[in-house]
Amino acid sequence: MDALARPLKTAQSARVISRRFQRIVWAWIASAALMNLQAAADTNVQSASPGLTRSHAALSPLDRLAAAFSPRLRGLATERDGLAEQLATIPPLNTVPTSEAFGLHSAIFRSAATTSWAQVDLGAERSMETIVLVPARVAVGEYPGQGYGFPKRFRVELANDVAFTLPRVVADFTREDFPNPGDQPLVIAVAGEHARYVRVTATKLWQRGDMAVMALGELMVMSGDRNLAVGRPVRVSDSRESLPQWSSAHLVDGQSVLGLPLEAAPSPSNGYHSREQETRQNAVKWVQVDLGQSLRLDEVRLIPSRPRDWALVSGFGFPLRFRVEASDEPTFPSPILLRAEDTNDFRNPGENAVTVPCEGVTARFIRVTATKLWLRMDYHAFALAELQVFAGGTNAALGTRVEALDSAELGYWSKRALVDGFSSQQRLAPLGAWLRGVSRRGELETRLKQLDGEFARQTQDTLASLGRWSIVAMVVVITGIALLAYRYRLVRLLELERLRTSIATDLHDELGTRLTRIGLLSEMVERQTEEAHPAKSQVTQISAMTHEMVRTMDEIVWAVNPRNDTLEDLANYIFHFTQEFFRHASVRCRLDIPADLPPLRLTTEIRHNLFLAVKEALNNVVKHAQAMNVRVTLKLDAAVLSIVVQDDGRGFAPDSQRPGGNGLRNMQQRLESIGGRAEVETEAGKGTTVRFQTKLHAGKRGR
């Protein structure tokens, strides 16, 4: 009969499948949560490192997942890609250290609500296209240096009188704080404007701790590719003169964090280098260009070198003292002095051009003469990457003839390289166009940072929404799976009940009927057989065995039939079985069974094992106890079912060999198999009490 419970494993397999599906679903939900955490981490990285953008890299898997569900994200990604393509065509800002001259620094004030101004005199009323404010870069303490001292609120004005009695405001940033530009120049378009004086007035200073200042690296006034302000006189309301770093004159010296105007094309040369390894620092070296004809000059630019094998050294070979001269004769018999830096050592320009204005000068030849050479290891040298001579807005020196006192015509060094249009690193770009490109780069990078922030926020929101919908979907899936599993289990249980009902019916109708007929026939034969007949005893045995088989068959049918799967059915069956069992015995039986039992449903396994255990205890009473009375008690207390079989027989010593020892072990094993226990209390001459207990779960309640 134990084998009859095995079909229940089919229903149990459905529960196993359901649990596996639930694990898969929760893994999916966990992955969605991890996606949210990853998105939040990406956002934190972006906020912690604003200089890092994802615009130049491929979308991450999480970005692609979010974009697949968000048209807005796809639009942002497309815009980012377009901006990144534009940025790729614009040279990046200079990152190599530039001149040791920082620029203009105001006096140090306690309050940021202080006005400070600086103005440049262009010498005459000039037409201009843009005004460029270049920030200073100075690291102070933990401050990294970019945009040091750049005013929070300011305005830019033009005037034709030095006192600015009738100023024209061309840029007004006094209503709200201006974001710090870092190293990006502020390019202000003023096309069509004419003026002699340009003034920058700070109305709210940059503040760090209790120090409020205004600082600017350079003030440029552009007309075409020329900076009209370079070298012009400067007036200030206040200034901190701390040479060589800070000076009002540094505002228009052409030296700033911008460095050289370069394009992406790499240079084929280092430039010009004097030939001899000169041991005397005061030895004179010169190099000159022939413009081919006498031209009206605008300015001369000396481009410092930074050769490949000395890539970390800016201003390589730039002379400490020098002269720039012009002449119409190649021998310079009566030179026109354009600039003389031969009294004091000239600070190394680093990665900046040295611009020499020369308006009104007409000449064919331009010569640069070094009178105090740069120290290179254990000897002295003179080197330049490029010599530019602007006339009529173009570089008239490009590709012209070059002469020198001596020249190192070796490797990347040559006289021709002095006018090839390249610095030692890259192609030189027109200054005006380059500044517009740098300004455009700043706009693109600002927009990219905005897009990155918006993309990160939108990605996080989308992934969070996906996570929420994933959880909802998973709950629906889990519910659906649970319902399917429950339905499957219910169907299997119904099939099992039908099977058990069919088995019980078949056993009762077929086998029971035949056994009953055999019993009747055996009784007839027994009555008709004489006592002395040899077959009398066999016929009697057949009749007894048949009656025993009928009783056993009744037990099997009762155990199999699902209609009997309740506590009340079990109690009734034990009641009737016990009465029938002791009907012909010399033992008086008392049954204590509650009249009103709850409609508690039992599994076949529990009902079957409990009945067989009680039956075994009753058999022991008849066979071994020699009892006069037996009492069977059934009680339900807090979902714990107790059945007690108590007799007044001879009992036995607990440590002796117990009668029916195998039967007692069987009873214990049956109760353990259903989560219960069997206890035997006995003493020689004082009877025996067998107690069966098992817990009935609330999930087993009736239909």
Give the model confidence (pLDDT) of 490-539 as tens digits.
777 776 666 666 665 655 555 656 666 676 666 676 666 666 666 667 76
Residues paired with residue 341 on neighbouring β-strands, in sequence order: 322
SS3 519: helix
Please choose, from the candidates 187, 193, 186, 197, the residue with its C-alpha nearest in 3D space to the C-alpha of residue 120.
Answer: 197
Model confidence at 219, pLDDT cuts 50, 70, 90, reads very high
Handedness of CA 260, 261, 265, 271 (dihedral sign): negative
Count Cβ atoms below 10 Å from residue 329 Cβ, excluding itself.
11
Q: Is 456:311 a contact under the CB 8 Å cutoff?
A: no
Model confidence at 55, pLDDT cuts 50, 70, 90, reads very low
Please choose, from the candidates 328, 398, 332, the residue with its C-alpha nearest in 3D space to the C-alpha of residue 364.
Answer: 328
Q: Please give the average per-residue pLDDT across 317-321, as a whole number.
A: 96
Quick one: DSSP state of residue 700?
G
Quote the tokens at residue 195: 């003026």
Higher pLDDT, 464 or 647: 647
Count Cβ atoms below 10 Å from residue 132 Cβ, excluding itself.
23
Residue 699: what pLDDT? 46
Q: Do domains 104-252 and 275-407 have the same CATH topology?
A: yes
Quote the tokens at residue 51: 């200089």
Please choose, from the candidates 340, 351, 356, 347, the residue with its C-alpha nearest in 3D space to the C-alpha of residue 385.
Answer: 351
Q: Which residue has the tokens 């945009």?
A: 147
Nearest 5°: the CA angle 226, 231, 233 is: 120
Architecture of domain 275-407: Sandwich (2.60)
Residues in contact with 542: Cβ distance below 8 Å, sequence separation at least 6, in sequence order: 518, 522
Read out DSSP for 638-676? TTEEEEEEEE-S----TTS--TTHHHHHHHHHHHHHTT-
Q: State residue 288 phi and psi, 5-degree precision.
A: -145, 160
Strands 383-384, 336-341: pairing kind = unpaired
Q: Please give the average per-residue pLDDT across 141-164, as a whole number.
A: 94
Nearest 5°: the CA angle 597, 600, 604 is: 120
Cα distance between residue 418 and residue 401, in whole Å: 10
CATH 3.20.20.70 fits domain 104-252: no
Quote the tokens at residue 385: 């990457």
Quick one: DSSP state of residue 572?
H
Cα distance between residue 46 and residue 538, in whole Å: 99
Interhelix angle 71-88/431-506, nearest 10 degrees: 150
Please choose, from the candidates 555, 570, 562, the residue with its C-alpha nearest in 3D space to the C-alpha of residue 511.
Answer: 555
Q: Which range is least confidently modeled, 116-125, 213-222, 306-315?
A: 306-315
Q: Is 213:103 a contact under the CB 8 Å cutoff?
A: no
Residue 653: what pLDDT? 73
Count Cβ atoms below 10 Å from residue 595 Cβ, excluding itself.
5
Radius of gyration, CA atoms only, the chain:
53
Handedness of CA 129, 226, 356, 362 (dihedral sign): negative
Interhelix angle 567-581/604-620, nearest 10 degrees: 20
Residue 4: what pLDDT? 40
Inform me whether the pLDDT recorded for 2 exceeds 50.
no
Higher pLDDT, 249 or 666: 249
Please choose, from the candidates 82, 35, 75, the residue with its C-alpha nearest in 3D space to the C-alpha of residue 55.
Answer: 82
Count Cβ atoms below 10 Å from residue 509 Cβ, excluding itself.
11
Nearest 5°: the CA angle 380, 386, 392 is: 140
Please choose, from the candidates 571, 665, 673, the residue with its C-alpha nearest in 3D space to the C-alpha of residue 620.
Answer: 665
Model confidence at 50, pLDDT cuts 50, 70, 90, reads very low
What digits encode the pLDDT tens for the residues 350-363? 999 999 999 889 99
Higher pLDDT, 273 or 75: 273
Provide the residue type at 563 as one letter.
R
Q: Is 470:25 a contact under the CB 8 Å cutoff?
A: no
Instruction: Please give the model's pTM, rounded to 2 decimal places.
Output: 0.61
Residue 291: what pLDDT? 97
Quick one: DSSP state of residue 635?
E
Model confidence at 56, pLDDT cuts 50, 70, 90, reads very low
Model confidence at 487, pLDDT cuts 50, 70, 90, reads confident
SS3 215: strand
Model confidence at 327, pLDDT cuts 50, 70, 90, reads very high
Q: Which range is least confidently modeled, 2-6, 244-248, 251-255?
A: 2-6
Higher pLDDT, 560 or 402: 402
Quote the tokens at residue 287: 């190099």
CATH fold of 565-703 reads Heat Shock Protein 90 (3.30.565)
What digits encode the pLDDT tens for the residues 663-682? 788 888 989 998 999 999 98
Domain boundaries, the chain: 9-91+441-497, 104-252, 275-407, 565-703
Q: Is 252:121 a contact under the CB 8 Å cutoff?
A: no
SS3 532: coil
Cα distance between residue 315 and residue 303, in whole Å: 9
